């Protein structure tokens, strides 16, 4: 490969990365996690490529020379909610949900990845930009004004993004024992739209005319984001034909217990019983007069894996991730604004989550029939982050299985192309005893808002919302493509 080839490869990779960075991001996950950081490729804690910066920074030490990788994922998800009928239900009609992610427009959001690595015998340096946590979903409105947004008390729209810039260092200590470090810089933005009951004065809780509509937004630009740190480290060891890798990545380190999204572009619509329309701003502050902060927790991530080469051309791998989503118990929203203060609208809202820890286990077999081609089959199984009673339109989740096919082609001595396809199947989740109960709001009000009462305690957890009883199902198709230039 001559200098012209190198220059063209660098230009193509950098242009791809800039295109990803410049495009508007769209994201989707349930809940929050991106399961294929680096794309649909041969990634893992013993993989030894640029994606190891997430899976196990110590395995970066297996990379020799310089590489630049750009990847994207096309994702189409179809979910459906068949809700229980009746005044106590927030989901009174069948609600289809479809999410489409274009790899050209996802920017460095879900499935988007841009990284570079420079490897030597003793030390390896790397850096990457990707989005390990995200949540984007929109629900179709109901067939009539009275059913406008049948999921409205749980969610109408969400676009929560957490993009990380991650430098890393891998060091070979002795033989094939390596350690790695990756301090991260996390940038958080988001938008969240939902309805909130104001009072029972209009005839009862759960009626559309008594609900205010909150649209909380930080904007999605770099300068709209909130900043936090993460810390990650890993170990890698190879003994003959067996490889072992393990890594740990911390939850965001901030001045609050979780991430904070500063929603300075927030609007609130008054309930119909209060006149309706957007909450006005005072004359001296004609716009952006309502401010909100959304605080919630992200998980720690632990990854372990083992690889075995029974023959030179065959590699068998098993790996698992443990995500401490049990920390994500709620979203805490606090609002401020002059007109909000005098409107009687809630300025402290809690959205209940009540997640539990997730275990994501994978097995993979890869075979290299020729020097230029590698083929792989994988199976991923993931436990649900949401207990059955807590499943709702804002958190549709259950046990999932995903078969995956992978292919890698060395198109030139300096260029490697990888493609993968997987379909995620989530069996139907039937919720018959939802934790959400709209009667809790009236029961708490009847006690004079006595915080010692069980009803008020449950309301303050965010459980005083219409029931989410119903049937939930989802199928997701993913197709990924990755390009790596080697020098």
Domain at 288, CATH number? 2.40.160.60
User: Which range of residues forms the domain containing residue 40?
Assistant: 3-434+469-486
Q: 409-440 pLDDT, tens per residue?
A: 999 999 999 999 999 999 999 998 999 988 88
Q: Does a structural domain hold residue 375?
A: yes
Q: Does a structural domain hold residue 458?
A: no
How many domains would you assign to the chain? 1
Q: Does a structural domain hold residue 82?
A: yes
Q: Does a structural domain hold residue 9?
A: yes
Mean pLDDT over 130-138 rounds to: 87
Q: Does a structural domain hold residue 445?
A: no
Distance CA(4)–CA(342), nearest Å, equals 67
Q: 30-54 pLDDT, tens per residue?
A: 478 999 998 889 999 999 899 999 9
Distance CA(263)–CA(334), nearest Å, equals 10
Q: Does a structural domain hold residue 461?
A: no
Q: Does a structural domain hold residue 122?
A: yes
pTM, full prediction: 0.86
Statement: residue 92 has pLDDT above 50: no
Q: 377-416 pLDDT, tens per residue?
A: 999 999 999 999 999 988 989 999 999 999 999 999 999 9
Q: Does a structural domain hold residue 51?
A: yes
Mean pLDDT over 449-455 rounds to: 89
Closest CA to 166 of 153, 189, 182, 151: 182
């Amino acid at each position: 490969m001559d200098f012209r080839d190198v220059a063209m490869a660098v230009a193509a990779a950098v242009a791809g990365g800039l295109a990803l960075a410049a495009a508007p991001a769209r994201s989707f996950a349930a809940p929050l996690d991106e399961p294929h950081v680096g794309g649909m490729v041969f990634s893992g804690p013993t993989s030894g490529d640029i994606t190891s910066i997430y899976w196990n920074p110590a395995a970066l030490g297996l990379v020799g020379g310089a590489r630049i990788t750009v990847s994207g994922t096309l994702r189409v998800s179809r979910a459906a909610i068949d809700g229980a009928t009746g005044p106590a239900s927030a989901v009174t009609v069948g609600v289809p949900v479809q999410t489409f992610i274009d790899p050209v427009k996802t920017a460095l959001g879900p499935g988007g990845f841009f990284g570079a690595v420079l490897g030597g015998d003793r030390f390896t340096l790397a850096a990457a930009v990707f989005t390990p946590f995200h949540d984007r979903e929109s629900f179709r409105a109901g067939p009539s004004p009275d059913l406008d947004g049948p999921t409205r008390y749980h969610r109408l729209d969400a676009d929560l993004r957490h993009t990380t810039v991650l430098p890393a260092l891998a060091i070979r200590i002795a033989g094939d024992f390596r350690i790695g470090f990756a301090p991260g810089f996390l940038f958080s933005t988001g938008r969240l739209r939902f309805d909130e009951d104001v009072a029972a004065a209009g005839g009862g809780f759960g009626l559309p005319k008594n609900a205010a509509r909150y649209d909380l937004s930080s904007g999605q630009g770099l300068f709209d984001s909130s900043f936090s740190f993460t810390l990650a480290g890993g170990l890698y060891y190879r003994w003959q034909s067996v490889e072992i890798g393990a890594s740990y990545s911390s939850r965001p380190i901030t001045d609050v217990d979780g991430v904070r999204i500063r929603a300075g572009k927030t609007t609130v619509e008054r309930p119909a019983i209060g006149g309706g329309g957007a909450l006005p701003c005072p004359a001296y502050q004609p716009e952006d007069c309502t401010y909100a902060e959304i605080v919630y927790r992200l998980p720690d991530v632990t990854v372990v894996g083992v690889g075995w080469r029974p023959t030179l051309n065959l590699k068998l791998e098993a790996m698992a991730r443990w995500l401490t989503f049990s920390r994500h118990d709620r979203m805490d929203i606090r609002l401020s604004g002059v007109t909000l203060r005098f409107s009687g609208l809630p300025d402290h809202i809690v959205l209940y989550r009540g997640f539990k820890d997730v275990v994501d286990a994978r097995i993979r077999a890869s075979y290299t029939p020729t020097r230029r081609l590698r083929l792989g089959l994988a199976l991923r199984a993931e436990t649900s982050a949401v207990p059955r009673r807590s499943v709702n339109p804002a958190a549709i989740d259950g046990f999932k299985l995903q078969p995956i096919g992978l292919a890698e082609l060395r198109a030139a001595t300096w260029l490697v192309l990888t493609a993968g396809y997987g379909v995620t199947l989530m069996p139907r989740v039937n919720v018959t005893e939802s934790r959400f109960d709209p009667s809790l709001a009236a029961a708490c009000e009847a006690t004079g808002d006595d915080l010692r009462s069980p009803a008020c305690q449950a309301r303050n957890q965010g459980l005083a919302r219409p029931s989410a009883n119903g049937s939930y199902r989802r199928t997701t198709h993913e197709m990924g493509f990755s390009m790596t230039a080697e020098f």
